[in-house]
Chain A
Amino acid sequence: DQQVKQNSPSLSVQEGRISILNCDYTNSMFDYFLWYKKYPAEGPTFLISISSIKDKNEDGRFTVFLNKSAKHLSLHIVPSQPGDSAVYFCAASGGTDTGNQFYFGTGTSLTVIP
């Protein structure tokens, strides 16, 4: 059973506009969340993270929002650039409460149109 879900397989956005990628989770023991970015023929690379004690974390053009009551997080990219075109995975962990494992979503393929 998928504990981390990304319900949008793909997203297209115009350059300069905002990209919003969504992620939902079911396990209330998750307390640490990460976003990874993956280009073709490369491994995923870390983008940004947030712990459950926060509801927002910002790093340059990237902001992650966490809504614990809704078990939902989102990644905002502003402004979107063509180089942001990639597959984005969200991941969650509950530390020892979830076996120290990371659970990944199915990914959202973002295309930023110049």
Chain B
Amino acid sequence: DADVTQTPRNRITKTGKRIMLECSQTKGHDRMYWYRQDPGLGLRLIYYSFDVKDINKGEISDGYSVSRQAQAKFSLSLESAIPNQTALYFCATSDPSGLAGVAGELFFGEGSRLTVL
């Protein structure tokens, strides 16, 4: 089983719909992130959380919200989806201590492809 699991893997929705992407991890890491990947733009940070009570906006947080339900769960919501939110979304975790690998290394899920019509 994957250490970082994202659901759904693929989703097609319509403009104006509310969408939630979920992420769960078994790595025991405190830090979790949501990124989106767009062709020609690379990976851009939407939100990040360093523990259950800590939520921070990234570069492109407008139109998104997040919830850190537990250490292992971090969900991303689009309250009213729009077509330019069509992208590949990645959840990631990290362990800044480096005890489980390289300090600062990000561990990514397999991605959630969202299409907004």
Contact = CB atoms under 8 A, between A and B. Distances in A.
Given A9-B40, A42-B110, A43-B4, A102 B45 contact: yes
Contacts of A62: none
A99 interface: yes
Interface residues of A, number: 25
Interface in A43-86: 43-46, 49
Interface in A91-114: 91, 93, 99-107
B42 A45 contact: no
Contacts of B35: 104
B50 A102 contact: no
A99 B109 CA distance: 23
A104 B102 contact: no
Nearest to A105: B42
B49 to A, nearest CB: 11
B42 to A, nearest CB: 4
A63 B102 CA distance: 16
A44 B104 contact: no
Contact of A44 (B41, B96, B108): B108
Interface string A22-47: 00000000001010100001111110
Interface string B76-117: 000000000000001010001000011011111111000000
Interface of A: 4, 6, 9, 32, 34, 36, 41-46, 49, 89, 91, 93, 99-107
21 contacts: A9-B40, A41-B110, A42-B110, A43-B90, A43-B92, A43-B111, A44-B106, A45-B108, A49-B104, A89-B42, A91-B43, A99-B56, A100-B50, A101-B48, A102-B45, A102-B104, A103-B45, A104-B42, A105-B42, A106-B41, A106-B42
